[in-house]
């Protein structure tokens, strides 16, 4: 009796266990497949894509993600991507979006020039290019050192501020000895007016680039610096002696002597005498 009872309890426990396992399995299956959103195919970069590169079919990888995770601006077809130039760097595995691509068959530097802007290249040297730290995407100020028209003193002035660097590279030129040498070239993105100023500045003197913090977008009024202002002033000029006028008073004339009349009696005879500080004189 006890044995039969134990077998019944064991069978019931096994049945409950199987029922619970089936319930859990159904829930897991429903969560993994039945209740998920349908997959949506998007394109990501199969490798790093640099600015100016032309997207080819081998640069694209198709992945499937939930529709709710599809980013805005994701192209639907490969034809919308292949042949377009990259204007914003795309890392491997990153979504390929329309705002990171230029128009079809527009690649290289022209694809980086935004409407209404111009790209102007200036020849520099390793020092002018801030020892190679001026790279595409950095921001710089353009300084000009030269002699103003009609002046004899050199001045340095800030021509342009907060200018974006589009590209940096080298061009092959002849040196003074006739040998070929690599000359650094920096290409800047400027407005049409600034393009004229930059071109004129390049012909007026020495161009220097000043590297900026990309977060600092302030435009400041910076006065020009002259060579004379770099040196200390010479010895101060000797003070001009000041002559003070001496006013002398004319001597005061001596006061006229005062005298008084005195009666002088000698016995019964009377006489008059004039007496002063100098003595008496009988009249």
Separation of alpha carbons 86 and 222, rounded Å: 37
- Of 107, 197, 110, 102, residue with least CA distance to 159: 197
Separation of alpha carbons 35 and 30, rounded Å: 6
- How many helices (H) and strands (E) are present in the chain, helices listed first? 2, 13
Question: What residues does CATH 3.90.1210.10 cover in the chain?
Answer: 39-111
Give yes or no for a contact between 44 and 63, defined as CB atoms under 8 angstroms apart.
yes
Q: What is the pLDDT of residue 35?
A: 47
* Percent of residues in the chain assigned helix, strand, coil, to nearest 5: 25, 35, 40
Length of the chain: 283
Residue with tokens 């003595």: 279
Pick the CATH number of 39-111 from 3.90.1210.10, 2.40.110.20, 1.10.1030.10, 3.10.20.30: 3.90.1210.10
- Of 42, 49, 89, 79, residue with least CA distance to 64: 42
Residue 117's Cβ-count burial label (10 Å; 0-12, 13-18, 19+) is: middle
Q: What is the pLDDT of residue 246?
A: 60
Q: What is the pLDDT of residue 195?
A: 93
Task: Give the pLDDT confidence of 44-59 residue by residue, as tens digits.
Answer: 999 998 877 888 999 9
Q: What is the pLDDT of residue 167?
A: 78
What contacts 8, CB < 8 A, 6 or more positions away? none
pTM beyond 0.75, yes or no: no
Strands 139-146 and 101-104, sheet pairing:
unpaired
The per-residue pLDDT string of the chain (283 residues; one tens digit each, 9 = 90 and over) reads 566 777 777 777 777 777 777 777 776 666 555 445 557 889 999 999 887 788 899 999 999 988 888 888 889 888 888 888 887 788 899 999 988 887 766 656 676 787 889 988 887 766 555 556 777 888 999 999 988 877 778 889 999 999 998 877 655 445 555 555 556 778 899 999 999 999 999 888 888 888 888 888 888 888 888 887 877 654 455 566 666 656 666 666 666 666 667 676 676 677 776 776 666 676 6
Q: What is the pLDDT of residue 191?
A: 93
Separation of alpha carbons 187 and 198, rounded Å: 11
Q: What is the pLDDT of residue 175?
A: 54
Separation of alpha carbons 188 and 168, rounded Å: 9
Separation of alpha carbons 236 and 120, rounded Å: 48
Max Cα separation, the chain? 198
């Amino acid at each position: 009796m006890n044995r039969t009872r134990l077998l019944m309890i064991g069978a019931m426990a096994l049945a409950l266990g199987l029922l619970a396992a089936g319930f859990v399995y159904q829930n897991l299956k429903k969560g993994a497949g039945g209740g998920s959103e349908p997959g949506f195919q998007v394109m990501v970069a199969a490798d790093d894509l640099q600015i100016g590169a032309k997207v080819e079919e081998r640069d694209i990888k198709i992945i499937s993600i939930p529709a709710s995770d599809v980013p805005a601006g994701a192209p639907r077809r490969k034809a919308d991507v292949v042949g377009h130039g990259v204007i914003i760097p795309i890392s491997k595995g990153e979504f390929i979006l329309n705002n990171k691509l230029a128009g079809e068959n527009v690649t290289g530097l022209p694809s980086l020039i935004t409407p209404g802007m111009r790209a102007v290249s200036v020849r520099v040297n390793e020092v002018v290019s801030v020892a190679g730290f001026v790279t595409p995407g950095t921001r710089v100020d353009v300084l000009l050192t030269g002699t103003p028209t009609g002046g004899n003193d050199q001045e340095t002035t800030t021509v342009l501020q907060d200018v974006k660097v589009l590209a940096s590279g080298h061009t092959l030129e002849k040196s003074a000895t006739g040998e070929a040498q690599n000359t650094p070239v920096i290409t800047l993105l400027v407005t049409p007016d600034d393009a004229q100023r930059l071109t004129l500045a390049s012909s007026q003197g020495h161009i220097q680039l000043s590297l900026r913090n990309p977060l600092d977008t302030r435009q400041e009024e910076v006065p020009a610096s002259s060579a004379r202002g770099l040196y200390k002033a010479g010895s101060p000029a000797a003070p001009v002696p000041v002559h003070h006028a001496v006013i002398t008073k004319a001597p005061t004339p001596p006061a006229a002597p005062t005298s008084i009349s005195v009666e002088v009696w000698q016995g019964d005879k009377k006489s008059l005498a004039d007496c002063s500080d100098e003595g008496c004189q009988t009249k």
